[in-house]
Structure 1
Amino acid sequence: MFHYRRLSRGEVERFETPYNENLLEVHLTDWPVDGSDDDDSKWLPSHCVMPSRYCQFAERIRNLTVYEDDVWIVTFPKAGTTWTQEMVWLIDRDLDYETAATVNLQQRSKFLEMFTFVSKMNLPDSIALVEEMPRPRHIKSHLPVALLPQQLWSVKPKIVYVARNPKDVTTSYMHHYKHIHGFEGAQQDFLDGILQDKIIWCPQVKHAADFWHMAKNRKHILFLHFEDMKRNLMGVLAKVCTFMGKSYSTEQLERLAEHLSFENMKNNKTANNQILVTQAAEAMGRSSDQFKFMRKGEIGAYRSELPVDFSMKMDELIREQLSGSDFKYRE
């Protein structure tokens, strides 16, 4: 069950967008769940900030039927989600580049909560679309541990989680929030929202730390770091292949690594999610040429885009929220 704490206008009015309104905190009240271990009884997964619209669908997602042959990609937004979706789908589907070139990634790996947080846009019921997918299903979500389907922990499908340094996430999310969510505030407004954990899907540090806690003793969860994917993609590919029970030659993996290079992904119309940019731009009456869903894909890009004082405050927030956890972000 969930408890909802509505945030006051004074708390959130600077952080709302035309499509994400009336923000609130969603708290899980019944933990641990079936499939939990002894460690889970000693902590409670963090809440999540969502628009009030989400309340209509929280229990549907919580009670979603999960299958053992599902494959789930879970991340905080802008942590390498699209990149990971394409990588995992191709590894799982025997490197089927032909289908990957003709069927959009949005259809191959569906976004579970897509329509639950966006108002004023006529989006299809994304939960129903996931329920109707032919098995085995590939499913994407940005939801934290507390809001995900409870059967994930008892049925134990394969779950791939990706973490990324919060300062780089913030940089990318800031542009995303403006061009995809329609955020019209100043940069400082957004940065304040991140530090106060008042932007949707926040708190982002707890998002990763909670999944790290769940992954430590569960073989059905693979925890990856964006920075490892950038620095040693071949090594990560080998790890994902082992996790998925697949085996490919060095030559096959080299071809996959080339397919997954940032430049190729950025220009791949079936995998670069530019279709979301077009849909958002049309809804807002803007040109879709102003923004690329995949912008830079770099490590440390925050240094040239974010104020030094924000970086220092984020370092302190990370220290505070990871206190007592052995989880560490990559630099």
Structure 2
Amino acid sequence: MFSFKPLNCELVKSLSCPGAPTFIEVKLEDLSENPRLDSESKTCILPEKYQHFADKVRNFEVFDDDVWIVTFPKCGTTWTQEMVWLMDHDLDYHTAKQINLNRRSAYFEIGAIANNLSVDSISNTANLPRPRHIKSHLPMALLPKQLWTVKPRIVYVSRNPKDVAVSYMHHYQMIMGYRGTEKNFLEGLLADKVMYCPQVQHVLDFWRIRDQQNVLFLTYEQMKRDLVGVLSRVSQFFRKCFSEEQLTELFHHLSFDEMKKNPATNNVEMVAAAMQMNGRGGEKFEFMRKGQVGDYKNELSVDYIERFEEYIRQKLEGNDFDFSH
């Protein structure tokens, strides 16, 4: 079902870090189970550890009352998880504040990719009480095949690759323990050799199925520009009816400042544990750094901005998606 190709080129080696020392290209060999995929959708860069979990992930049992939040990393995943969980649980703020988001909305494949983490997150997710909220960064080709037959609700969120590049680089450095150069990391993204790449294809696969009733396609930019409008779309998707006053309260709860100071959502404990495991213990890093659109202009050079724009243009050629949505 899958093939695994070790990646030994110098660029990939330079991306080695305590959280993921070696990488492979995982390739789905049989597309028959998901006719939505094309030949460009079959591969993904993941830590070598993943090959021991690939079939278990693929054959994971899916239920129709599951809720899946799928994104490429650093696309507003935590923000979306909190929004979706509250919508699906009739704005139960009491539980949301008492129970950490990572327990309410499980990171499906974390145990299959994190080198220093011995937990079997696939089995743990399978045993969650229903309805399960499940987060994943895996591309469509590697997700459980039952997603396409059982058809639970799937919320997908995209973000401009230029902003992703900056946020992902800080994540790699501080949470995964990467100590290589920024240049090598950016070159890795442009070559689609960083974990979870190829990035644009990740988005396009879900863009193509955005009209399916069980799929809601959102963008980080939409959420920043018109969160009230997005909340309305999400409530319709979950067949919920909330008053204007309730949506205003949710809007406030989901604001960047509120999420950042909320112990149930700001990932302070997770970050501290990951940094300790990956050689960054004692250093300072906030999981929610800025949450801005266009912050890449402050951190990327003009040359890299131009190169990412060309990368995006080439990858989107022949498609009707636009990252400026």
Task: Please indicate, yes or no, whether the TM-score normalized by the shorter chain is above 0.5.
Answer: yes
Q: CA deviation at 1:115?
A: 1.0
Unpaired runs of 5+ residues, structure 2, are none
- 1:219/1:44 Cα in 2 relative to 1: closer, same or farther (>3 Å)? farther
- 1:286/1:162 Cα in 2 relative to 1: closer, same or farther (>3 Å)? same
Q: 4+ residue runs of structure 1 moved beyond 4 angstroms? A: 41-44
Following the alignment from structure 1 to structure 2, what is the Cα–Cα distance between the partners of residues 213 and 65? 24
- 1:52/1:122 Cα in 2 relative to 1: closer, same or farther (>3 Å)? closer
For residue 144 of structure 1, what is the aligned residue in structure 2?
139
Which AA in structure 2 matches 1:232? Answer: D
SS in 1 for 2:209: helix
Following the alignment from structure 2 to structure 1, what is the Cα–Cα distance between the partners of residues 32 and 313? 26
Report if the CA contact (8 A) 1:225-1:330 is conserved: no
Residue of structure 1 aligned with 2:167, choices 144, 151, 172: 172
Residue of structure 2 aligned with 1:117, choices 110, 113, 116: 113
- 1:42/1:80 Cα in 2 relative to 1: closer, same or farther (>3 Å)? closer
Corresponding pairs, count:
325
Q: CA deviation at 1:114?
A: 0.5
Following the alignment from structure 1 to structure 2, what is the Cα–Cα distance between the partners of residues 28 and 287? 37
For residue 67 of structure 1, what is the aligned residue in structure 2?
63
Task: Give CA deviations for 1:129-149 in whole Å, capped at 9, x if unaligned.
Answer: 100000000000000011100
Following the alignment from structure 2 to structure 1, what is the Cα–Cα distance between the partners of residues 175 and 77? 15
Q: CA deviation at 1:275?
A: 1.9
For residue 94 of structure 1, what is the aligned residue in structure 2?
90
SS in 2 for 1:4: strand
Report if the CA contact (8 A) 1:31-1:44 is conserved: no
For residue 294 of structure 1, what is the aligned residue in structure 2?
288
Following the alignment from structure 2 to structure 1, what is the Cα–Cα distance between the partners of residues 230 and 278? 38
Q: CA deviation at 1:41?
A: 6.8
Q: CA deviation at 1:11?
A: 4.0
For residue 195 of structure 2, what is the aligned residue in structure 1?
200
Matched, 1:28 2:28: yes
Q: CA deviation at 1:46?
A: 3.9
Q: What does residue range 160-309 of structure 1 map to in structure 2 within 5 Å?
A: 160-216=155-211, 218-287=212-281, 290-309=284-303
Using the TM superposition, name which of 283-292 and 64-73 deviates more: 283-292
For residue 17 of structure 1, what is the aligned residue in structure 2?
17
Which AA in structure 1 matches 2:125? Answer: V
SS in 2 for 1:83: helix
Following the alignment from structure 1 to structure 2, what is the Cα–Cα distance between the partners of residues 251 and 18? 47
SS in 2 for 1:254: helix
For residue 51 of structure 2, what is the aligned residue in structure 1?
55
Q: CA deviation at 1:311?
A: 1.1
Unpaired runs of 5+ residues, structure 1, are none
- 1:42/1:184 Cα in 2 relative to 1: closer, same or farther (>3 Å)? closer
Report if the CA contact (8 A) 1:67-1:157 is conserved: yes
Q: CA deviation at 1:183?
A: 0.4
Q: CA deviation at 1:213?
A: 1.5
Report if the CA contact (8 A) 2:18-2:279 is conserved: no
SS in 1 for 2:311: helix
For residue 330 of structure 1, what is the aligned residue in structure 2?
324
Q: CA deviation at 1:10?
A: 2.2
Which AA in structure 2 matches 1:152? Answer: L
Which AA in structure 2 matches 1:139? Answer: I
TM-score (norm 1): 0.95
Which AA in structure 2 matches 1:179? Answer: M
Using the TM superposition, name which of 20-29 and 240-249 deviates more: 20-29
Report if the CA contact (8 A) 1:75-1:162 is conserved: yes
SS in 2 for 1:143: coil
Which AA in structure 1 matches 2:46? Answer: M
Report if the CA contact (8 A) 2:175-2:280 is conserved: no
Following the alignment from structure 2 to structure 1, what is the Cα–Cα distance between the partners of residues 301 and 282? 28
Following the alignment from structure 2 to structure 1, what is the Cα–Cα distance between the partners of residues 152 and 179? 39
TM-score (norm 2): 0.97
Which AA in structure 2 matches 1:286? Answer: R
SS in 2 for 1:309: helix
Q: CA deviation at 1:316?
A: 1.1
Report if the CA contact (8 A) 2:17-2:179 is conserved: yes
- 1:2/1:231 Cα in 2 relative to 1: closer, same or farther (>3 Å)? same
Report if the CA contact (8 A) 1:46-1:206 is conserved: no
